[in-house]
Amino acid sequence: MAATDFKDYYSILGITKTATPEEIKQAFRKLARKYHPDVNPGNKQAEAKFKEVNEAYEVLSDPDKRKKYDQYGQYWRQVGEGGFPGGSGVDMSGFDFGQYGSFNDFINDLFGGAGPRTNKQSYSYRTSTGKPGTGFGGFNDFGFQDMGGAAAQDSEYTISLTFAEGFAGVQKRFSLGNETIDVRIPAGAKTGTRLRVRGKGQVNHSTQQRGDLYLKVELQPHSFFQFEGDHLLCEVPITPDEAALGASIDVPTPDGSVNVKLPAGVRSGQSLRLRGKGWPLAKGGRGDQFVKVAIAPPKDLTPQEREYYEKLRSIRTYNPRSHLAQVKL
């Protein structure tokens, strides 16, 4: 990766390097809603921006990846894949990586042109096209690491899936040198899912035995859905009158919108369970989807709305803070 290809993930999300995890999440949600393909149908620039925002959030929301990114800049992936000799035992904090045109330039300079000496090798393969790369895999690349082994050598790929691909399952094509294989990712794959493809790993040249291929799934962040264990969680805004009187609202689920009955007096932050509307489970069936409601008061009132709100305030008998009078140290 040339220095000019460096992506400033903090600038992409519009935050500073001191941003808290919550600030990172808020910035991502705002931009994801703005550039989501459903909001910008057919807009290729918005689609590219959405992927870029997802990529930035994927790194900065992960403490370990963020630490490597902050320390090694555009070469954080190579360090993470074993491409840096010495691993985490080498303190490179404050080092200017931007002066090098590529990671190899940095290594050659570090070792006086001798290149790194390490038993591990890192490559990357792109879907479909698949010649072995240089280890500088992009957003849609599959990072490969030789796992080693006495009898055979296993290979591991990190595969990035959208929520739609993880939910419904998808077939992916891999090019491994001169071999092309098709792998079916089952429905319900999510971050942390590890799939084994027997006999498709690296060949141990001394024994001629072939290891297995392991696919490690990472789901791209979604602008609406989040995981809570095996269940899905989403947040839906409601109006003050819907909270007070109850209402019927439409809520998105992975396979379409459903109508949900809000009970009268529902509180902001309360969650409603949609049974069997969540993520496919490995043991069969579906998990649940939890709908967290957030009361969203209107910012701009019409004169008539303001009149009625003022009238409501003048006749209201309910005081949600009455119990606070008893609070003492």
Q: How far is it, in rounded angstroms, from Cα 31 to Cα 40? A: 12
Contact 240, 229 (CB under 8 A): no
Span 119-130, average pLDDT: 32
Tell me phi and psi for residue 97, to 5 degrees.
Answer: -75, -20
Judged against a pLDDT cut of 80, whether residue 142 lies above it is answered with no
pLDDT of residue 208: 76
Lowest average pLDDT, out of 102-116, 146-160, 252-266, 275-289, goes to 102-116
Domains and CATH numbers, the chain: 1-80 (1.10.287.110), 153-217 (2.60.260.20), 223-313 (2.60.260.20)
Q: Is 319 exposed, middle or buried, given 0-12, 13-18 or 19+ CB atoms closer than 10 A?
A: exposed
Which runs of E-coded beta strand occur in the chain?
122-126, 141-146, 155-161, 170-176, 179-185, 194-197, 213-219, 226-228, 231-238, 247-253, 256-262, 271-274, 289-295
What is the mean predicted confidence (pLDDT) over 54-82?
79
Q: What is the pLDDT of residue 305?
A: 94
Task: Report strand pairing: 141-146 vs 122-126.
Answer: antiparallel
DSSP conformational letter for 99: G
Distance CA 299, CA 306 (A): 11
Measured in Å, how far apart are the chain's first and last C-alpha atoms? 60
Indicate the pLDDT class of residue 73, thresholds 50, 70 and 90. confident
Confidence (pLDDT) at 283 = 86
Model pLDDT, residue 167 = 95
Fill in the amino acid letter for 279. W
Please count the CA atoms within 13 angstroms of the CA of 174 that sit on its side-chain side. 24
What confidence category does residue 5 fall into, taking pLDDT thresholds of 50, 70 and 90? low
Contact 215, 181 (CB under 8 A): no
Kindly list the distances between the CA atom of residue 266 and the CA atoms of 75, 93, 260, 305, in Å, as whole numbers in the listed order: 49, 50, 13, 22
Q: pTM higher than 0.85 for the full model?
A: no
pLDDT over 60 at 320, yes or no: yes
Is residue 99 classed exposed, middle or buried when 0-12, 13-18 and 19+ CB atoms within 10 A define those classes?
exposed
Q: Above 50 in pLDDT, residue 85? A: no
Q: Check pLDDT > 70 for residue 60.
A: yes
Confidence of residue 105 (pLDDT cuts 50, 70, 90): low
Q: Which two tokens stand for residue 245?
A: 């009187």
